[in-house]
């Protein structure tokens, strides 16, 4: 799941603060600490950990060491953990982010998140366009959470596909390969679906789920599973309260489905990678 939602991340981290990066430098390897980046941060608000003034936040260079990319003069909401010698460390697996992008998150951490004014409604899933760019070859859907609670779901392994066959919707094997696949025989589809279902049932909600905040939307990429049948995309989901109570997404009673897709007559706007994801409001 990566980093958990804000209040759970707050509970797990040693220090949570907002502050402006004053300077950035390199820190040498010392003992068990690898060489990396150190950002001197002027603390604006401490939400946990009792820090004030100027603090040093350590992170990796980026890439394989999970380093977070700070920029001088910009303000961040920083989640950090203390090493045994007191050093504060953060990375891309925590919720550290530009402060200007997480106003609602800060309100939640402060206990001041307002009640939504929009009425609650079941989540929706709609086709946004098709893409063949930057290694993505398939369709882009918009998943919209219209509830007043977060929803949790499995993304790639949890993608559900159904085909319309013999007058009813029937489970089908998702296309989880790295490229469009050849049309499956029914025997191949049954075998691939069985393997997918084994993986799906083994996923643990507390560890493997993605989440969406209330009244939010995100883009999802899906490779076309079939050109022979009409098909639809779906996700089983739970609310945060249900996940906290120990329920598993694989046994969820709530599912959001797209409208039927007929690949051979599909008319959808072409999207570039930038259009599909960077402008989706995620």
Per-residue pLDDT tens digits for 223-256:
999 999 999 999 999 999 999 999 999 999 999 9
CA distance 226 to 229: 6
Q: With CA atoms as reference, report the closest residue to 46 among 13, 3, 4, 71.
A: 13
Phi and psi angles of residue 10, each rounded to the nearest 5 degrees, phi first? -60, -45
The DSSP secondary-structure symbol of 30 reads: B
Quick: pLDDT tens for 54-84. 999 999 998 778 899 999 999 999 999 999 9
**Predicted pLDDT at 2:** 63
Query: Mean of the pLDDT values across residues 186-207?
Result: 95
**Predicted pLDDT at 29:** 78
The bridge status of strand 15-27 relative to strand 254-257 is unpaired
| 8 Å CB contact between 67 and 34 | no
**Predicted pLDDT at 62:** 83
Banded model confidence at residue 156, pLDDT cuts 50, 70, 90? confident
Query: Mean of the pLDDT values across residues 163-171?
Result: 97
Banded model confidence at residue 280, pLDDT cuts 50, 70, 90? very low
| 8 Å CB contact between 40 and 141 | no
Taking the complete model, does pTM exceed 0.75, yes or no?
A: yes
**Predicted pLDDT at 282:** 39
Taking the alpha carbons at both ends of the chain, their separation in whole angstroms is 16
Q: What is the CATH number of domain 6-110?
A: 2.40.50.120
Residue 1 pLDDT greater than 90, yes or no: no
CA distance 252 to 92: 30
Residue 281 pLDDT greater than 50, yes or no: no
Residue 91 pLDDT greater than 60, yes or no: yes
Banded model confidence at residue 28, pLDDT cuts 50, 70, 90? confident
Residue 203 pLDDT greater than 70, yes or no: yes
Instruction: Compute the mean pLDDT over every residue in the chain, rounded to the nearest whole number.
Output: 93
Q: With CA atoms as reference, report the closest residue to 144 among 71, 81, 72, 237.
A: 237
- Domain spans in the chain, listed from the N-terminal domain onward: 6-110, 124-278
Residue 121 pLDDT greater than 90, yes or no: yes
């Amino acid at each position: 799941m990566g980093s958990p939602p804000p209040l759970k991340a707050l509970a797990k981290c040693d220090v949570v603060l907002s502050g402006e990066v004053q300077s950035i430098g390199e820190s040498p390897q010392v003992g068990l600490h690898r060489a990396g980046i150190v950002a001197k941060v002027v603390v604006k608000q401490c939400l946990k950990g009792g820090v004030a003034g100027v603090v040093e936040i350590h992170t990796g260079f980026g890439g394989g060491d999970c380093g977070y990319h700070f920029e001088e003069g910009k303000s961040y909401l920083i989640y950090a953990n203390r090493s045994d010698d007191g050093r504060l460390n953060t990375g891309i697996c925590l919720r550290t982010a530009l402060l200007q992008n997480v106003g609602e998150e800060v309100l939640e951490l402060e206990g001041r998140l307002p009640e939504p004014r929009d009425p609650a409604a079941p989540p929706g899933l709609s086709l946004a366009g098709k893409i063949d760019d930057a290694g993505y070859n398939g369709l882009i859907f918009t998943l919209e959470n219209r509830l007043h609670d977060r929803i949790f779901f499995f993304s790639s392994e949890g993608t559900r596909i159904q085909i319309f066959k013999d007058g009813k919707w029937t489970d089908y094997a998702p296309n989880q390969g790295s490229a469009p696949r050849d049309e499956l025989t029914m025997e191949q589809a049954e075998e691939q679906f069985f393997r997918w279902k084994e993986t799906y049932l083994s996923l643990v909600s507390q560890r493997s789920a993605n989440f969406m905040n209330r009244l939010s939307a995100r883009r999802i990429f899906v490779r076309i599973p079939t050109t022979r049948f009409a098909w639809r995309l779906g996700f089983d989901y739970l609310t945060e309260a249900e996940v906290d109570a120990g329920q598993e997404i694989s046994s969820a009673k709530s599912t959001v489905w797209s409208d039927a897709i007929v690949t051979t007559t599909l008319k959808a706007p072409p999207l570039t990678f930038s259009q599909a994801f960077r402008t989706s409001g995620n």
